[in-house]
Copies of this chain bind each other. A is one copy, B any other.
Amino acid sequence: MEKREKINHRDTVCAVDYAFQRIGGKHKGRLIYHLSKGTLRYGELGRRITGITPKMLTQVLRELEEDGLVKRHVYLEVPPRVEYSLTPSGMELVPFIVLLADWGRAKMNKEGLACEN
């Protein structure tokens, strides 16, 4: 959890890096993408983000929360319910993610690959 700290002290502060440190990584893009369509529960996210383990899902969500991109909302119920949604800051990133997805989709079509999202 002290990863961000390490990165900050280490290399020079560059806007491109700063941004990639926040939305880069293996699952963050997809996570933001799915949340951009609306609030989702923990389990729902886990099902949509294929191949992610609970551990990584939690970790990624925590990082996004620390960076102020994702809001965590706990309902004190039985069974427990935790919902995640984008903060205004996180919403600012949606257009980029969408553009990126469009670009990816276009490239995939050109290469004859199927695309599910």
Instruction: Name A residues whose Cβ lies closer than 8 Å to a Cβ of B.
Output: 10-20, 22-26, 29-30, 33, 50-51, 89, 92-93, 95-97, 99-105, 107-108, 113-117
Contacts and interface: CB of A to CB of B under 8 A. Distances in A.
A11 to B, nearest CB: 4
Q: Which 7 A-B pairs have the closest CB atoms?
A: A19-B104, A15-B104, A18-B104, A15-B105, A15-B101, A19-B100, A11-B51
Contacts of A51: 10-12
Given A13-B113, A17-B29, A18-B104, 4 more contacts: A10-B51, A15-B115, A15-B117, A16-B33
Nearest to A89: B107
Contacts of A33: 16
25 contacts: A10-B51, A11-B50, A11-B51, A13-B116, A14-B50, A14-B117, A15-B102, A15-B108, A15-B115, A15-B117, A16-B30, A16-B33, A16-B97, A16-B100, A18-B104, A18-B108, A18-B113, A19-B101, A19-B103, A19-B104, A20-B26, A20-B29, A24-B29, A92-B103, A93-B103
